[in-house]
Chain A
Amino acid sequence: MDIIVCMKWTPDTSEADLTVDKEGKDIRKDDLDFDMNDWDRFAIEEAVQLKEKVGGKVTAVAVAPEDAEGMLRECLARGADEAYQLWDDAFEGSDGYAVAAILAKFIKDRPHDLVLTGTLADDDCGGQIGGMVAAMLDIPGSTLVSKIQISDGKLTCHRELEGGLYESIEMDLPAVLSVATGLNEPRFVSVRAVRKVAALEIPTLELGDLGLEASAVGSDGSRIRIELMELPPEGEGAEIITGKAEEAAAKLAEILKEKGGIGS
């Protein structure tokens, strides 16, 4: 079975002091550390585990600049058989739609039974890629997948719904699944594991290699235009509720209702 996993290279914003750049359309990223999107970590793990069960080949792919090579190498260390970096200066400024177009072109040109990706990315939380790639390839897809089973060329997957409900879906292969975090326990990648795959080549495919037109990628190929990015205005200070526990709780509930925090 040929499994292709789409990976994203995202900035780690958890411990950073964020600032908006000069144009006011993005955050400043030069001081940030980048890493594998956490959701995609589960996707690559699932792909490798499926391969270990049913055999086949795992290909990791990312639309990301040169610096992201470390992430793709980590995918190899995690058990992917090959990795591709898709990058061209023309890709700069691509939105989710354009990135999906690049990935779809890459996938279309090679054997694929299953395409996996994380449901969301840690940075912009767009959650678009899986669905768009499925549509562009004209194959079935699903999101927030929490379990995948494959037997006799049929795919069964579970989706986790609100309120602890599960939905079970059967579909034909090939398909695109966007996975939820927690569907497996991603393996640890040691320094030695990365070193073992140090000699493997990670080809970079550019616009021409993929057979794409410049107009289909970058900001020209994008459908979303960011007008302005701002840090949230500082709040006016917190209100400290005093008094006995019951009174304080009642007061808190009242405020939440009033401000729309909870339904009435």
Chain B
Amino acid sequence: MTIQEPANVALAGIPAPGLAFVILVAALCLFAYIMNRRIDLLRKAMPDPRFDDIGERIRLALVYGFGQWKQPRYLVGGIIHILLFAGFMILSLRSLTLIGRGFSAEFNLPGLTGSVGMAYEVLKDYAVLMVLVVCIVAIIRRAVFKPARYAHAPGQGHEAEAYVILGMVSALMLTDMIYDGSHLAATGHTDAGLLPAATVASLFMAGSSPAALNALHIGGYWAHILIFFGFLNYLPMSKHFHVITAIPNVFFANVDKGRIKPVRHGVDEWMDLDECGITRFESFTWKHVLDFYSCADCGRCTDNCPANAVGRSLSPRMISIKARDYAYKYYPVFGTAPDPGDIKFVGDVITESEIWACTTCGACENECPILIEYIDKIVDMRRYLVDQGQVPQSLQKPMQAIKKKGNAYGGAKGKRAAWTKELDGIEVKELKAGDATDLLFFVDSCGSFDPRIQELSRSLARILAKSSTDFGILGQDETDSGNEIRRLGEEGLFEQLAQKNIAAFQDRQFKEIVAFDPHAFNAIKNDYPERFPIVHASQVIDRLIKAGRIRLSSDYLAGRVVTYHDPCYLGRHNQIYYEPRQVIQAVPGVRFRDMERSFDRSFCCSGGGVMLWYESEEEKERMGERRVRMAEQIGAQVIVTGCPFCLINLEDAVKTTGNEGKIEVIDLVELVDRSLV
């Protein structure tokens, strides 16, 4: 029995190629129009030079885009996605082939003929079956098992869209199966091993009349074509825009980790601009708008957001969703844009409490499968609020103190080196302009003025002295590093602070700067406009141990179980994970255990620098308390951290969780100082 091919059958008197042409042109015109409207907003948005470092960008696209590298971090969802993605890749060629078959029954893509074509037929048939099964699994998973991270607040969800998309994809697979299956049934060939999907379909059609099979073949074909173009045009109208934008989004991802974007790219004299930060939606950079378009609403960012976990209203995912809803509403594809009236994007759509709740820990960005950024957006929104004078009262005092005195503690400049007085037998050099040293110890405000953190300053000084390292401090000429000031959106003050420290650095000779505070380390390393060689204390200590210049004993730890808390600004923002662990491992016989959330999934303790002063009215528990419970779970008796602010937050949390006397929190420099032989 033979079967008629769609290309050879006129529909309603119109020859099939004519119809195929009309559908193709109409669908592509519509698609071009929609995309143009969407891209229009990108053109209105602020500049961002993301065309540098093409090699790295290609790597990102290959690893995170095509390679789906982050997906398996959530195993079930990740595997489902990888299978769907692989199916899509394979089936995209199939779709092009089918479009061509509307024009000619014999159409095949160049290269997909002969035995390669046969092999592809087999591959795509497996892909069809796999995608169908995966869609059904995904539908069941959403509807029955309801993973918590997909949940939305009432009225803010896009649940229905997920089903529309999964339904459309399933329909695409089914129509393809009908198209192929009817052909198989008509010709009488079956080969379940080679063409499983078509064979399954053909079994349902067994015994159908030739006319019925013909109708199924032709109907299945046109239905597939219509659904395909419907799908294509639906994507940019829905939350599934990421099917189109994800790979470009990964390609254009931020390659400057740890650094905050300038107020406006390409503008040095930003103070003279009329606007600062997100005054209106178009103040976002085009890449940030692309991020909004691309968010797949998977909820992984929010699932890892510590602020969200303790009950603050911030949800990074909802920032993207609300922003995309805003973009779709006020920059519509069809019709005229409604007037937002008094609705302000920053303040009404994204509220102040969301914006200030972020600790800039970077967990969201680190988790996002398509490398969507949040910190720069939040900082840009804060810049607007700061410019308007709308800063929470709890943050104003420390920020003003930094402005007036160069530190958040209100300490007098002249007392910056006072912590050195209590060092027995060790002279800490206060370097004057023109002096030289090997290692310039940047103490920062916390190490200079907070009595608890001064102990860390002394510990590091003792370690350096013990190893006969030549080092010195800036003393009076040091000022706050400005890491948090910049992240709180007070760019003008950050610039002043950076300039002061840069001038102090430039007036002295040194080989390297060392800081035990990862926030200071990050600011100097990544944010300062002038580059200086800088290392974290853990790196220096690691080197000293390896060089045999210091040795540790087990006396202090005395067999207790130790864990290490990765500080955000050491780990995620600067990829320093191993040196601190190596230092701990240098204690003979140490019993070390990592917490489940460690390395780049470390859980922020509440934020450092000025963030220490921030009072959230929303949170139900402290982030540090959560973290201490995680340490409790693995039976840790000592939590070592590499950041003075983690130390303060966790020490408090140990008390409030009733773990005083059971769990000790110490900084790495203290551990080393107390374990020195």
Residues of A bordering B, CB below 8 Å: 12, 14-16, 31, 33, 35, 78, 185-193, 195
A78-B271 contact given A35-B404, A191-B496, A195-B492, CB 8 Å threshold = no
B391 touches A188 (CB 8 A): yes
CB of B522, distance to nearest CB on chain A (Å): 21
Describe B's contact surface by its main secondary structure.
Answer: helix
A192 CA / B405 CA spacing, docked (Å): 18
Within 8 A of A (CB), among B478-510: 490-493, 495-496
A192-B387 contact given A33-B404, A185-B393, CB 8 Å threshold = yes
CB neighbours of A15 from chain B (8 A): 409-412
Asked if B104 CB lies within 8 Å of chain A CBs, one says no
Asked if B276 CB lies within 8 Å of chain A CBs, one says yes
A190-B393 contact given A15-B411, A16-B412, A35-B404, CB 8 Å threshold = no
Name 6 extra pairs, CB < 8 A, besides A187-B389, A191-B490: A33-B404, A188-B389, A190-B387, A191-B493, A192-B276, A195-B271
CB of A120, distance to nearest CB on chain B (Å): 19
A195 CA / B391 CA spacing, docked (Å): 18
CB neighbours of A185 from chain B (8 A): 393
A187 CA / B396 CA spacing, docked (Å): 9
Q: List 13 A-B contacts (CB under 8 A).
A: A31-B412, A186-B396, A188-B386, A190-B387, A190-B492, A190-B493, A191-B490, A191-B495, A191-B496, A192-B271, A192-B276, A192-B387, A195-B492
CB neighbours of B491 from chain A (8 A): 192
CB nearest to A192 among chain B residues: B492
A189 touches B389 (CB 8 A): yes
Asked if B390 CB lies within 8 Å of chain A CBs, one says yes
Within 8 A of A (CB), among B153-191: none
A193-B490 contact given A14-B410, A15-B410, A33-B404, CB 8 Å threshold = no
Most chain A CB atoms below 10 A, which of B391, B409, B493? B391
A33 touches B276 (CB 8 A): no
Interface string of B398-416 (1 = CB under 8 A from A): 0110011100011110000
CB nearest to A32 among chain B residues: B412
- Which of these, B399, B495, B496, contacts A188 with CB under 8 Å? B399
- Which of these, A12, A14, A16, A190, contacts B386 with CB under 8 Å? A190
A188 touches B276 (CB 8 A): no
A12 CA / B397 CA spacing, docked (Å): 13
CB neighbours of B400 from chain A (8 A): 189
A126 CA / B492 CA spacing, docked (Å): 36
CB neighbours of A16 from chain B (8 A): 412
Most chain A CB atoms below 10 A, which of B386, B390, B399, B409? B386
CB neighbours of A186 from chain B (8 A): 393, 396
A152 CA / B409 CA spacing, docked (Å): 46
A33-B396 contact given A191-B490, A191-B493, CB 8 Å threshold = no
A192 CA / B490 CA spacing, docked (Å): 9
A186 CA / B496 CA spacing, docked (Å): 23
A190 CA / B409 CA spacing, docked (Å): 19
Within 8 A of A (CB), among B266-314: 271, 276
CB neighbours of A12 from chain B (8 A): 410
CB neighbours of A192 from chain B (8 A): 271, 276, 387, 491-492
A31 CA / B405 CA spacing, docked (Å): 13
CB of A196, distance to nearest CB on chain B (Å): 8
CB neighbours of A195 from chain B (8 A): 271, 492
A78 CA / B495 CA spacing, docked (Å): 21
B405 touches A33 (CB 8 A): yes
CB of A128, distance to nearest CB on chain B (Å): 27
A85 CA / B491 CA spacing, docked (Å): 30
CB of B492, distance to nearest CB on chain A (Å): 3
A111 CA / B261 CA spacing, docked (Å): 47
A193-B387 contact given A16-B412, A185-B393, A188-B399, CB 8 Å threshold = yes
Within 8 A of A (CB), among B247-276: 271, 276
A78 CA / B271 CA spacing, docked (Å): 17
CB nearest to B391 among chain A residues: A188
A78 CA / B404 CA spacing, docked (Å): 17
CB of B403, distance to nearest CB on chain A (Å): 7
CB of B241, distance to nearest CB on chain A (Å): 36
CB nearest to A191 among chain B residues: B492
A187 CA / B388 CA spacing, docked (Å): 8
A190-B405 contact given A14-B410, A15-B410, A15-B411, CB 8 Å threshold = no
A16 CA / B410 CA spacing, docked (Å): 9
CB of A77, distance to nearest CB on chain B (Å): 9
Nearest 7 CB-CB pairings of A with B: A191-B492, A187-B389, A188-B391, A192-B492, A15-B410, A188-B389, A191-B493
CB nearest to A48 among chain B residues: B389
